[in-house]
Amino acid sequence: MTALSVRDIGISFGGVKAVDSVSFDVEEGSIFSIIGPNGAGKTTLFNLISGVYLPKAGTVSLFGEDVTGVAPNRLVARGLSRTFQNLQIFFRMTVAENVMVGRHLKEARGIVPHLLSLPSVVRQNRDSRTEAIRLLDRIGLAGRADDLAANLPYGELKRLEIARALATEPKILLLDEPAAGCNPKETEDIERLIEAIAADGVTVVLVEHDMRLVMRISNRLHVLDYGKTLASGTAEDVRTNPEVIKAYLGTHGAEEAARARR
């Protein structure tokens, strides 16, 4: 089944077409990567899919249902969540609380029980925390659950965003440069994490510049340049596409991408 379908989507900022008539389908349970040079429109595309921006043209569908223009918080209820290229952490909250916010739609949200801290709310807080710790354990941060998020190093915050998104129990997860700024060890951890997430049946849409990582784990790739689709296909198709090599990979990048296979 097609988990995510994007059709002729586009948006411009002050006359600049940041995303221009882009279309693709993402198969359920697959890892689908979007690559391209800086400024190609990858993050903007994520903003369009996740409802942060309203597209000027085109449609977005999740599991066959048109969700174009649906607010981000409503898309979460339909199984979509995401992370951000530039960290969007709740810095004044603890690490565990950051993940607990991801449980929001799974929690009873009546305000009066919250004001009175009824036993049901206390129980639910405990359950949300247990789930948060389980997810933190998965990204290796359970030991820092009660630290203020502001006190974590960059690489750990990147993973914290993934745990927070996972807390929503997504069916589709958009990851915007999860390995950016991470050291090789952290990058390897993130690669394994993404594979494990996909193995659980979650569809992953990935934006990432680390070509070794991308080429190793993606089922399909989509290449953007100046907001337009440059190429689309398997890692092999993309790696050997002369247009892609010229615009993005370069000869060095293509070699690196090729090495990823071995």
Partner 1 sequence: MGRLFNHPLAAPALIALIVIACGFGLGSNFYLRVAALVWISALAAIGLNLLMGFAGQVSLGHAGFFGIGAYAVAVGPNVLPVSPLLALVLGIALAAVIAYLVGRPILKLKGHYLAVATLGFGILVYMVLSNESGLTGGPDGMPVSRATLFGWRLKGVDTWYWITGGVLVVGAWVAVNLVRSPTGRALRALHDSEVAARVVGVDVARYKLVAFVVSAVYTALAGGLLALFNGFITPDVAGFMHSIEFVVMVVLGGMGSIVGSLVGAAILIALPQALSAFQEYEHLALGLILMVFMIFLRKGIVPSLVALAGRGR
Ligand X SMILES: Nc1ncnc2c1ncn2[C@@H]1O[C@H](COP(=O)(O)OP(=O)(O)O)[C@@H](O)[C@H]1O
9-17, 22-30, 56-64, 87-95 -> range binding partner 1 (CB under 8 A): 87-95
CB proximity list for 92: less than 8 A, separation 6 or greater: 148, 149, 150
Min separation Cβ 107 and partner 1, Å: 4
22 within 8 A of 48, measured Cβ to Cβ: no
Member of 167, 175, 179, 197 binding partner 1 (CB under 8 A): 167
- DSSP H helices, the chain, are 42-49, 72-77, 95-101, 111-116, 119-138, 154-166, 184-199, 211-217, 235-239, 242-244, 250-259
Residue closer to ligand X by CB (options 48, 190) is 48
Shortest separation between residue 236's beta carbon and ligand X, angstroms: 23
DSSP string, 59-122: EEEETTEE-TT--HHHHHHTTEEE--SS----TTSBHHHHHHHTTGGGS---HHHHHHT-HHHH
Closest CB to ligand X among 149 and 173?
Answer: 173
The entry of Mg ion, partner 1, ligand X, none that residue 262 binds, CB within 5 to 8 Å by partner kind: none
Considering CB distances under 5 to 8 angstroms, the limit depending on partner class, which of Mg ion, ligand X, partner 1, none binds residue 13?
ligand X
Strand 203-207 with 220-225, pairing: unpaired
Among 76, 204, 206, 254, binds partner 1 (CB under 8 A): 76
Residue 103 near which of partner 1, Mg ion, ligand X, none (CB within 5-8 Å, type-dependent): partner 1
Q: Which of partner 1, Mg ion, ligand X, none is residue 151 near (CB under 5 to 8 Å by kind)?
A: none
Binding site for ligand X (CB under 6 A): 13, 16, 18, 36, 38-44
Contacts of 38 (CB under 8 A, 6+ apart): none
- For partner 1, the binding residues in 102-161 under the rule CB under 8 A are 102-105, 107-109, 111, 113-117, 121, 124-125, 128, 161
